[in-house]
């Protein structure tokens, strides 16, 4: 297994994982325009994707979007897009991928918003500091 920063060179594989992730969690599928916007954001460094490859095949991904956080008055990161191909789950990849993304992104903290059913999983991965509730505004 190799842990990598995903670039536009891996974009076709990332798009396939992203679509699988959206299907699994029951969200609307991204359009071609959405995926083009994602490629542009990756290219411009507005979002950073990390992954795990097995024999050159991308089998897991997550993203870190850099922010400034007054939680610790440093660069922070929002952790999202966490997906592991089902046959690779429960093999320790998740924990190693989170640590790799944290270390490689250079952020001082990572925050994650998740469904109630995922809280225990994220806690087991090291997200243990409660920061209240995360809500989104879409005007």
Kindly state the percentage of the chain with pLDDT values over 90: 71
Helix, coil or strand: residue 98: helix
Q: Is it the case that residue 113 has pLDDT exceeding 80?
A: yes
Q: Residues 36, 1: contact at Cβ < 8 Å?
A: no
Report pLDDT for 137. 66
User: Domain 2-124 is in which class?
Assistant: alpha beta
Measured CA to CA in angstroms, residue 36 lies from 6, 8, 45, 51 at distances of: 15, 11, 14, 19
Q: Is it the case that residue 87 has pLDDT exceeding 80?
A: yes
Q: What is the pTM of this model?
A: 0.90
């Amino acid at each position: 297994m190799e842990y990598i920063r995903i670039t536009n060179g891996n974009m076709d594989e990332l798009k396939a994982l992203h679509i699988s992730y959206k299907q699994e969690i029951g969200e609307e599928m991204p359009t071609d325009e959405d995926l083009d916007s994602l490629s542009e954001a990756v290219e411009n460094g507005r979002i950073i994707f990390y992954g795990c490859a097995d024999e050159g095949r991308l089998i897991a991904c997550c993203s870190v979007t850099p922010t400034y956080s007054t939680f610790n008055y440093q660069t922070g990161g929002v952790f999202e897009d966490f997906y592991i191909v089902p046959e690779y789950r429960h093999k320790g990849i998740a924990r190693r991928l989170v640590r790799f993304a944290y270390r490689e992104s250079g952020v001082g903290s990572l925050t994650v918003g998740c469904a109630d059913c995922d809280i225990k999983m994220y806690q087991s991965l090291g997200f243990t500091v409660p920061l209240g509730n995360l809500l989104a505004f879409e005007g």
